[in-house]
């Protein structure tokens, strides 16, 4: 199932047809504006369901939802079973029902899946539920499904089925072969109805125990199950509509939808018909289906679009026969004519009280193009206050009065019928009637403000509203026609301003003020403008009052939402009618209420005029608001605020609600209620939670709650109408605790607590055991400690002995090392001396004469002895022995690890371990310094040392 939500912004078409035509409500910018609807079903106050090309559309008075059948084909029929509360729907080869659902508003159950291939009966134009059986009327066949037995019967009628109806448990059929009905499992001809053979039957209705049959072009018939009677007045009306395509019947009213001429609503007793077509506000004249709702208003399915004709509303309009009269301003009735002053000029139409104007011809008054501000009767004369001056109108002809310009309104002197005031753009002029001709006498000196709204308190006092300047009370010297004193009032006695939206009127010798804050009057004793408690009480204490007046023995109050009429004596009940459209500013600042005929009040609108009907025959059921249903407090949707597609409740026509349960993470919700239409008409909403204090009334239809704690909640919303009536709706919901405070979590906590307690007991036992074992261990440890102390003392003594021995050994080692160092130093000194002797002998030898052979030989022998002494192995052995003794067999281990080392290289390593420098090593090895470096290099190679490794570090780590 899929659905589309669209909020309906309601448009009230100002139907422009004969007086008595009702208002038409359209649905622009919603799916209803473009829907092709084949069938309509209504429920209660405000619910309507449409079998449309795009699925099943539901309208709840505020929003439109769409629902699909399983095969997503167009719907052809929809029918509500009031017993089961199921909404049966038929499409193409599929039928089933929608049930109210708190989550999705409606949920679909398919029945045709249970009948296999017999479901292929084409378009299902009618669907009915009776005694547990569902009957679907197709193009030529009828399928009866028994849900209890889960069985079905497919009946082939052998003819084309155009329509059907269930009456007294019998299925009646309109076919291409006449009127028939279902008898058991057979389709039989209706006896005595042969006249209908060949006539295309459009609708069948039960009617006073009989059957009412509506045809496409042959009229309307009454059938008593034996014979057929043509209803001539109704048939004549139907034929005037051309070909009828759809019909519905309620009470004594028959609604006919035509192909070419819109909707006709016919009184079946008299044949009187009123037609609603494109000139009346319908989008088009092709009407596919019509349906009366519970109140008696009429739904019309157009091709495409949907219109709602408000037949029960006591508000009407009239036909101007296509004449572009413009926006209505003022209106007056005189000489059996109805004069209409608009923003485009002055027009008139022949009129008599109670007459139907739908065939009347409208005329424009020559020379009167432009703004018409007022129409006033003074004696037998009708004055037209125009942008270009003042005119007297008689028999459709206007004659200008003097050279006046920019006249707002005129009023006859209270005590002189031949004189009058004219309120102009620039003050007040005085006119007089001489020899039957009205002429300007003078200008009222002393006041030059714009006088668009003025009244006479007495013959010598005028009141006028002057916008931001407030209101003025002018004291007039009637002899010299001048203002001798001006009183300015900018505030009422209770401190409200009189500088905007103020209208003056004279009621029962009192000067009254219509203000946004209520009704006020001038009190001469206190010389203040005080609240008029009497009028306010009679008129229901209105606010945002635009006009208040008394006419023909009735009190009228116009507010921004409605028009009220009250009995000045307070005996009869007040009557009130809503404005359409509501909350729209008046067309101008002058008079807005015009009494026409008996109990009719005209009101100017942007599209012309509407007429409010206060007649007794309309209000015969009593009550002051019979045409104002209770304000809808209906909760339409509940959603989780912080989640996408989070609807958890969607309103349904039965008001079915579950106890909503929210997770703790969903503890912020948004609740929607009421409708945009109601809010615009002045209805306010007040809310409370868990029986707390009601919130201040407001127009908002949304209430949000955030960060709700866990627990159960009871939400209530109260809708308060402008008449004070109330209705209440409610819903229950609960917020679950967070998971760590849920029942399962608490159970887990208890289990864990038990385990923890048991664990603590076990731990305590172990602790006691460990304590006992610790005491035993302490005793054992004490014994062991004492034993250890004894052993320590023994070891300490041994250690001291060892330390003394080590100290003695260290002394001996240090002594040996010192001896070895002394040997090395003496050896070094000896070698240096021998080297010196060797060089000296080498230097002496060339100095000897060759003849001194013996001396030369002696020197050579001495050189040899010196050389041998430098290379003596005895010295090397002694050095090695002394060195290994001090350095833990360093040389011995070195020879074992590196057997390819020469004696000189071994000595070189020993010298390096002693940290001798290269210069110190060279004489010891009887080589040059460079030779030492070369030997170091060879040793590194034999040790396989890397470049970054240090030879001295390597040798110091050995031994």
**Residues contacting residue 843 through CB under 8 Å, at least 6 positions apart:** none
Q: How many domains does the structure of the chain reveal?
A: 3
Top-confidence residue, 826 or 385: 385
CB 731 within 8 Å of CB 635: yes
Question: Residue range 831-860: average pLDDT?
Answer: 73
- Note whether residue 389 is domain-resident: no
Looking at residue 2, its pLDDT comes to: 38
> In this predicted structure, what is the pLDDT of residue 629?
58
Least confident residue range of 258-262, 299-303, 355-359: 355-359
Of residues 597 and 447, which shows the higher confidence score?
Answer: 447
Of 382, 215, 281, the residue nearest 15 (C-alpha): 281
Instruction: Report yes or no on 559 lying in a domain.
Output: no
| Beta-carbon contacts of residue 864 (< 8 Å; ≥ 6 apart) | none
* CA separation, residue 274 to residues 237, 264, 280, 310, 445 (Å): 9, 6, 11, 13, 55
Q: 156, 185, 218 — which closes off a domain?
A: 156
Has residue 820 got a pLDDT over 80?
no
Q: Is the pLDDT of residue 530 over 90?
A: yes
Residue 21's H or E segment, with its range, is strand 17-22
Task: List pLDDT tens digits, range 753-788.
Answer: 888 888 888 888 888 888 888 888 888 878 878 887
Of residues 37 and 12, more confidently modeled: 37
pLDDT, tens digit, for every residue of 100-148?
A: 887 778 888 888 888 888 888 889 899 998 888 889 988 888 889 888 7
Dist. CA 163–CA 248, nearest whole Å:
12
Q: 348 vs 280, 342, 361, 523, 913, CA distance in Å?
A: 20, 11, 9, 41, 138
Percent of the chain with pLDDT over 90: 22
At 698, the pLDDT band (50, 70, 90 cuts) reads: confident
Mean pLDDT of 196-209: 90
CB atoms within 10 A of CB 783: 10
Query: What confidence score (pLDDT) does residue 483 get?
Result: 92
pLDDT in the model for residue 872: 53
Tell which residue, 391, 412, 387, 409, has the closest CA to residue 400: 391
Q: Which one of 706, 740, 774 terminates a domain?
A: 740
CA distance 130 to 182: 13
* pLDDT for 834: 72
674 inside domain: yes
* 417-452: burial string, b at 16+ Cβ within 10 Å, e else: eebbbbbbeebbbbbebeeeebeeeebbebbebbbb
pLDDT band at 11 (very low <50, low <70, confident <90, very high): very low
Instruction: Catalogue the E-assigned strands of 71-124.
Output: 77-81, 86-90, 95-101, 105-110
Eight-state DSSP code of residue 676: H
Judged against a pLDDT cut of 80, whether residue 811 lies above it is answered with no
Candidates 829, 924, 826, 823; CA nearest to 882 is: 823
Supply the pLDDT for residue 49.
Answer: 93
Rounded average pLDDT over 737-746: 78
Q: Is residue 639 domain-resident?
A: yes
Three-class DSSP category at 859 = helix
Q: Which of 654, 540, 524 is nearest to 102 (CA)?
A: 654
Q: What's the average model confidence in pLDDT over 440-469?
A: 90
Phi, psi for 350 (deg, rounded to 5): -65, 135
The per-residue pLDDT for 12 is 36
Whether residue 195 lies inside any domain: the answer is: no
The model's pLDDT over 349-390, given as tens digits with 9 standing for 90+, comes to: 887 765 565 556 778 898 888 888 899 998 888 999 988 889
Give a yes or no: residue 178 inside a domain.
no
Q: Containing domain of residue 879, as a range?
A: 867-957
pLDDT over 90 at 474, yes or no: yes
Instruction: Render 415-429 in DSSP notation, one character per residue.
Output: S-TTEEEEEETTEEE
| Band of pLDDT at residue 528, cut at 50, 70 and 90 | very high
In 10 A of CB 110, how many CB atoms?
15
pLDDT in tens, 484-519: 999 999 999 999 999 988 999 999 999 999 999 999
Burial class (CB in 10 A: 0-12, 13-18, 19+), 40: buried
Residue partners of 946: CB distance under 8 A and separation at least 6: none
713, 740, 767: which is the final residue of a domain? 740
CA distance 163 to 77: 11
Q: What is the Cα–Cα distance from 838 to 832, expressed in whole angstroms?
A: 10
Beta-carbon contacts of residue 21 (< 8 Å; ≥ 6 apart): 15, 274, 276, 280, 316, 317, 318, 319, 358
- So what's the pLDDT on residue 456? 93
CATH number of the domain that residue 87 is part of? 2.130.10.10
pLDDT for the residue numbered 239? 92
| CA 101 remoteness from chain centre | 21
Task: Give strand pairing partners of 547.
Answer: 558
**How many C-alpha atoms does 793 have within 13 Å on its Cβ side?**
5
Give 38: exposed, middle or buried? Use CB within 10 Å, 0-12, 13-18, 19+. Answer: buried
Beta strands in 217-327 (DSSP E): 220-223, 228-230, 244-250, 253-258, 263-267, 273-276, 287-292, 298-302, 306-309, 315-319
Inside any domain, residue 141: yes
304: cis peptide before it, omega within 30°?
A: yes
Nearest C-alpha neighbor of 600 from the set 581, 586, 619: 619
CATH number, residue 734:
2.60.40.10
Residue 298 in any domain: the answer is no
- pLDDT at position 10: 36
Q: Where do the DSSP E strands lie in 870-951?
A: none
Q: Mean pLDDT in the chain?
A: 83
Edge-to-edge order in the sheet of strand 298-302: 11-13, 24-26, 306-309, 298-302, 287-292
325-352 confidence digits (pLDDT tens): 778 889 988 878 889 998 888 998 887 7
C-beta separation of 431 from 443 below 8 A:
no
**Alpha-carbon span 256 to 274, nearest angstrom:** 10
Q: CA-CA distance, 739 to 707, in Å (whole number)?
A: 16
CA distance 7 to 328: 31
Helix axis angle, 903-913 relative to 929-943, nearest 10°? 90
Could you tell me the CATH number of the domain that includes residue 941? 1.10.10
């Amino acid at each position: 199932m899929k659905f589309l939500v669209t909020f309906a912004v309601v448009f009230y078409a100002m139907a422009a047809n004969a007086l008595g035509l009702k208002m038409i409500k359209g649905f622009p910018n919603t799916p209803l504006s473009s829907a092709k609807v084949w069938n309509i079903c209504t429920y209660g106050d405000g619910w309507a369901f449409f079998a449309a090309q795009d699925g099943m559309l539901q309208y709840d008075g505020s929003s439109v939802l769409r629902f699909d059948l399983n095969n997503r084909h167009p719907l052809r029929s929809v029918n509500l079973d009031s017993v089961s509360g199921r909404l049966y729907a038929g499409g193409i080869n599929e039928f089933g029902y929608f049930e109210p659902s708190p989550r999705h508003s409606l949920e679909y159950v398919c029945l045709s899946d249970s009948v296999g291939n017999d479901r292929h009966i084409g378009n299902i134009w009618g669907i009915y539920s009776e005694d547990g059986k569902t009957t679907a009327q197709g193009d030529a066949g009828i399928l009866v499904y028994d849900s209890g037995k889960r069985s079905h019967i497919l009946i082939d009628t052998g003819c084309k089925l155009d329509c059907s109806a269930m009456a007294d448990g019998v299925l009646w059929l309109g076919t291409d072969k006449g009127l028939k009905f279902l008898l058991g499992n057979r389709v039989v001809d209706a006896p005595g109805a042969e006249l209908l053979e060949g006539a295309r039957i459009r609708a069948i209705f039960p009617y006073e125990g009989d059957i009412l049959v509506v045809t496409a072009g042959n009229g309307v018939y009454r059938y008593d199950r034996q014979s057929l009677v043509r209803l001539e007045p109704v048939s004549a009306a139907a034929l005037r509509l051309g070909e009828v395509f759809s019909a519905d019947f309620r009470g004594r009213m028959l609604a006919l939808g035509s192909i070419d001429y819109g909707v006709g609503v016919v009184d079946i007793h008299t044949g009187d018909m009123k037609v609603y077509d494109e000139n009346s506000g319908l989008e088009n004249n092709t009407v596919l289906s019509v349906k009366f709702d519970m109140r008696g208003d009429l739904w019309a399915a157009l091709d495409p679009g949907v219109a709602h004709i408000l037949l029960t509303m006591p508000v009407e309009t009239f036909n101007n026969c296509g004449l572009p009269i413009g926006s209505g301003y003022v209106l007056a009735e005189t000489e059996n004519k109805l004069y209409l002053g608009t923003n485009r000029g002055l027009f008139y139409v022949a009129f008599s009280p109670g007459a139907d104007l739908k065939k009347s011809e409208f005329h424009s008054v020559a020379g009167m193009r432009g703004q018409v501000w007022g129409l006033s009767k003074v004696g037998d004369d009708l004055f037209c206050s125009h942008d270009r001056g003042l005119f007297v109108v008689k028999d459709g002809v206007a004659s200008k009065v003097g050279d006046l310009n920019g006249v707002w309104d005129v009023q006859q002197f209270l005590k002189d019928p031949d004189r009058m005031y004219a309120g102009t753009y620039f003050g007040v002029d005085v006119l007089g009637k001489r020899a039957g001709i009205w002429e300007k006498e003078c200008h009222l000196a002393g006041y030059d403000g714009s006088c668009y709204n003025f009244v006479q308190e007495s013959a010598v006092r005028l009141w006028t509203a002057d916008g931001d300047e407030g209101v003025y009370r002018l004291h007039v010297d009637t002899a010299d026609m001048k203002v001798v004193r001006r009183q300015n009032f900018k505030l009422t006695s209770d401190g409200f301003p009189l500088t905007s939206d103020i209208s003056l009127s004279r009621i029962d010798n009192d000067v009254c003020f219509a203000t946004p804050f209520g009704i006020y009057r001038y009190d001469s004793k206190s010389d203040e403008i005080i609240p008029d408690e009497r009028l306010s009480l009679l008129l229901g204490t209105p606010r945002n009052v635009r006009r208040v007046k008394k006419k023909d023995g009735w009190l009228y109050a116009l507010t921004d939402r409605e028009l009220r009429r009250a009995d000045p004596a307070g005996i009869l009940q007040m009557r009130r009618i809503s404005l359409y459209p509501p909350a729209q500013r008046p067309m101008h600042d002058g008079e807005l209420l015009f009494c026409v005929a008996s109990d009719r009040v005209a009101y100017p609108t942007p599209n012309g005029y509407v007429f409010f009907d206060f007649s007794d025959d309309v209000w015969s059921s009593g009550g002051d608001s019979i045409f104002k249903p209770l304000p809808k407090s209906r909760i339409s949707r509940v959603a989780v605020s912080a989640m996408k597609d989070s609807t958890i409740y969607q309103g349904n026509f039965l008001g079915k609600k579950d106890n909503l349960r929210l997770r703790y993470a969903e503890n912020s919700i948004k609740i929607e209620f009421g409708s945009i239409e109601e809010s615009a008409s002045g209805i306010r909403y007040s809310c409370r939670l868990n029986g707390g204090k009601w919130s201040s009334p407001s127009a908002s239809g949304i209430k949000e709650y955030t960060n709700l704690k866990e627990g159960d909640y009871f939400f209530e919303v109260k809708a308060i109408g402008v008449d004070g009536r109330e209705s209440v709706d409610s819903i229950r919901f609960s917020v679950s605790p967070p998971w760590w405070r849920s029942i399962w979590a608490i159970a887990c906590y208890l289990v864990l607590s038990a385990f923890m307690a048991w664990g603590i007991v076990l731990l305590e036992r172990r602790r006691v055991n460990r304590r006992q074992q610790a005491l035993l261990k302490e005793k054992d440890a004490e014994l062991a400690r004492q034993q250890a102390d004894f052993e320590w003392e023994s070891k300490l003594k041994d250690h001291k002995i060892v330390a003394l021995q080590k100290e003695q050994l260290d002394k001996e080692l240090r002594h040996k090392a010192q001896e070895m160092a002394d040997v090395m130093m003496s050896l070094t000194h000896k070698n240096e001396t021998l080297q010196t002797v060797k060089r000296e002998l080498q230097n002496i030898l060339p100095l000897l004469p060759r003849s001194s052979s013996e001396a030369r030989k002696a020197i050579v022998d001495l050189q040899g002895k010196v050389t041998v002494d430098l290379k003596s192995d005895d010295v090397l052995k002694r050095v090695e022995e002394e060195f290994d003794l001090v350095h833990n067999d360093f040389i011995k281990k070195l020879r074992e690890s590196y057997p390819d080392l020469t004696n000189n290289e071994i000595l070189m390593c020993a010298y390096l371990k002693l940290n001798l420098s290269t210069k110190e090593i060279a004489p010891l090895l009887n080589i040059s310094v460079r030779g030492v470096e070369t030997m170091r290099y060879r040793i590194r190679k034999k040790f396989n040392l890397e470049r970054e490794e240090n030879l001295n570090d390597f040798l110091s780590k050995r031994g």
